[in-house]
């Protein structure tokens, strides 16, 4: 008997399931992908952040301004509170400046499409 190893693979092709996963199209011209819901949610978040950033910053600025000039409250506790509020206002400004870039970085790492019929892929 001449052994060349081919008998190990005899019938192997018959045991492999060559069908595509459920939900995946094999018809020509049809896409095997669908929009990624996480990507679309991030796009919406980015638009919301850009739209709302000026409002959020402006509202806290108005409050800090009123507190700082003594028209709302005055005295040592008012000054202390006003200083704390000013620090929070600066933190908000810095974080609101960074947020659109943070969302964009996540968008860049997130696939815009996922396999049809599948769940979102881990990022």
**pLDDT, tens digit, for every residue of 99-119?**
899 999 999 999 999 998 755
pLDDT at 6 over 50: no
Residue linked to tokens 């992908």: 33
Judge whether 1 lies within some domain.
no
pLDDT of 119 reads 56
Judge whether 123 lies within some domain.
no
Judge whether 111 lies within some domain.
yes
CA distance 82 to 13: 76
Judge whether 121 lies within some domain.
no
Residue 77 domain boundaries: 6-115
Judge whether 42 lies within some domain.
yes
Cα 16 off chain centre by = 38
Enter the pTM of the model: 0.55
Judge whether 36 lies within some domain.
yes
Judge whether 67 lies within some domain.
yes
Specify the number of domains making up the chain.
Answer: 1
Greater confidence (67 vs 121) lies with: 67
Judge whether 44 lies within some domain.
yes
């Amino acid at each position: 008997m001449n052994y060349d190893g081919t008998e190990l693979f005899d019938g192997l092709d018959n045991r492999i399931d060559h069908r595509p996963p459920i939900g995946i199209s094999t018809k020509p011209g049809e896409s095997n992908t669908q929009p990624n819901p996480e990507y679309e949610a991030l796009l919406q978040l980015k638009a919301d952040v850009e739209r709302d950033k000026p409002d959020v910053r402006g509202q806290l600025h108005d409050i800090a301004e009123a507190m700082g000039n003594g028209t709302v409250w005055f005295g040592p506790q008012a000054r202390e509170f006003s200083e704390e509020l000013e620090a929070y206002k600066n933190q908000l400004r810095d974080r609101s400046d960074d947020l659109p870039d943070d969302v964009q970085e996540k968008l860049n790492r997130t696939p815009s499409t996922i396999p049809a019929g599948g769940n979102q892929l881990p990022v």
